[in-house]
Structure 1
């Protein structure tokens, strides 16, 4: 199932009605905005010459339809909501996509309710990011598969009135059995990182990462990395919230 989802994401999207999309990049990370400029070169997403601060006034672009705004800052939920409200007020017709991998499920829901058009992970492959942005400007709403599946699972659990007591206790126990390194790797899996990316991020051998992932799958009772990422999205913080 996971392979089918990835292949579907990378299939060509129907031709966009917008061959040129003015793209504003809000990003104070020099490495990240340099990488994005490279990824989006030779695409329909024409980056503005300037890189903007989170508090910048972008109303000058309100008449430059169509406009896409990429917000690549690590903010709190309230800061994201304030930025979203301000940017939408300055460019009412703009699409707004956040690049982040630290948001809780409840925060993701709040942002989409406030008008967010897409959520992408900074760890996405460049080609996947471009396809995600193409979907957004084609009128679709985009969020990572792991987040979408976790939201569906959460909704399914809420529909079962007596299902929360036992799973919550079980999840807390499982989280407590994870080592610090396993928790780090699980967070990387939530971002869609490959074994090679995890090894580079945590300064480990790739073979060591594979051993840790095998142990993680057994501990959280997951059949594959996608299920493990879904489990982590919901339960990784439960040990903190329910100390035992």
Structure 2
């Protein structure tokens, strides 16, 4: 039995890399065969530090001694992402690892499923026809705060709301709701740029502030709106727009 196949208490061992530059990834996949294959594939990349389990509830210890995972990959093939049960699972996952982005591995493109994932705050939606290399690239981009979805999702949103530009204004309803939650003018600036899909670094450049200040504003927006991550902020913007 190799180290990759060794079952630890409540966790399946994966490939761990030393150093703080690797992306810490927790793979949640109930299928032992699928989980082992994915761990082997991701583990070959030196930029990824990955471990896996069948269910988050099975974890008896933190997956990484140095901190929470940067990204949690959730195998969602054959499941209804829009269902209440799936939503409850995602919320439990977010509560367990509040700083982690979530990537779903799913089947063929389904615009309804993708939009449901966006509304639930999922940071990336990867279909079965996407190869390993771009999926690894997506993991690295997610750590930088980017949201990764197939083009079909954007096409579906575009049909409802039209293109966003640099000067796009927030809808009146969202402005009013932002006033109700006491967002500052600067936080509204950050919200507009989040809605355009900009990364933390790009927002910092656009507003001429530090990246750490951008993170402070995003945390404040989440606290005052009750949202759990930046993806839910963007999804909220989309819902208010159409």
What TM-score comes out, normalization by structure 1 length?
A: 0.49
Q: Which has the higher helix share?
A: 1
What TM-score comes out, normalization by structure 2 length?
A: 0.49
State which structure, 1 or 2, has the greater radius of gyration over its C-alpha atoms. 1
